[in-house]
Amino acid sequence: MAEKLLLEKLEQYIKQRWIPQPEPFEHADAEYCGSGSYAMPERNLSSEPFAGSAPAPAKNIAPLPAKSIEPLPAKKRRSFFPSFSSSRLSKEAPQSSSLDERLKYLDESFSQMLLRKIDEAGIKDSECYNRAQLNRALFNKIKNDPAYRTSKETAVALGLALRLQKPEFTELLSKAGYSLSRSSKFDVIIEFCLENGIFSIMEVNELLFRHDQNLLGSK
């Protein structure tokens, strides 16, 4: 009974949050231009009578004086993008610096944040990757190589294994180059699990399986 209620709740959640891809535009006279765009044929407006009286001529309106907008200082701009990371560097690369100079100001990697969160949770590495249903070899690749590019499913599984709340979960996911989107059923289901405190990989996989989505874990 509880499982049925959970599935009904998930179905309602997906209907509210999931944004399906729009249907292709259809018109008898439209011409497809590629990349999901269409163009309507040109119309000779001079040969088409206006419905009703002709429009009144536009009045001469003086343009508004141009107003210069000064860019916000770097510290102000940074405040728009808060971070939950405790190891974020306090200094910021100068905007006029070279690429090599800017690369010195990188934030912590996915691997570094993962290991930090494991330590903060007070659990062993083995407990984390067992919860995530990942094998030891894969975890060691992530642990020993800060530049290792993990899959989205693996990143999600580790975030759930650490029982992170949504803000920190989202940040951990971003460290691996991913995000949660409402245009993806997989992402909406993961978001549903986070908001309802469902961290068990088996329970999450059951919900993903019912909606024909990729499963988590590698065991």
- Give the DSSP H/E element, type plus range, for residue 32: strand 31-34
DSSP secondary structure, 101-124, as one string: HHGGG----HHHHHHHHHHHHT--
Whether 115 contacts 145, CB under 8 Å = no
Average pLDDT on 73-88 reads 37
Pick from 50-64, 86-100, 174-188: least confident: 50-64
pLDDT (tens digit, 9 = 90+) per residue, 82-97?
333 444 343 565 665 7
Whether 143 contacts 154, CB under 8 Å = no
Average pLDDT on 194-217 reads 95
Alpha carbon 68 to its chain's center: 34
Q: Domain spans of the chain? A: 110-210
pLDDT band at 162 (very low <50, low <70, confident <90, very high): very high
Helix, strand, coil % (nearest 5) of the chain? Answer: 45, 5, 50
d(CA 31, CA 48): 22
pLDDT, position 127: 97
Mean pLDDT rounded to a whole number for the chain: 76
Instruction: Look up the pTM and report it.
Output: 0.62
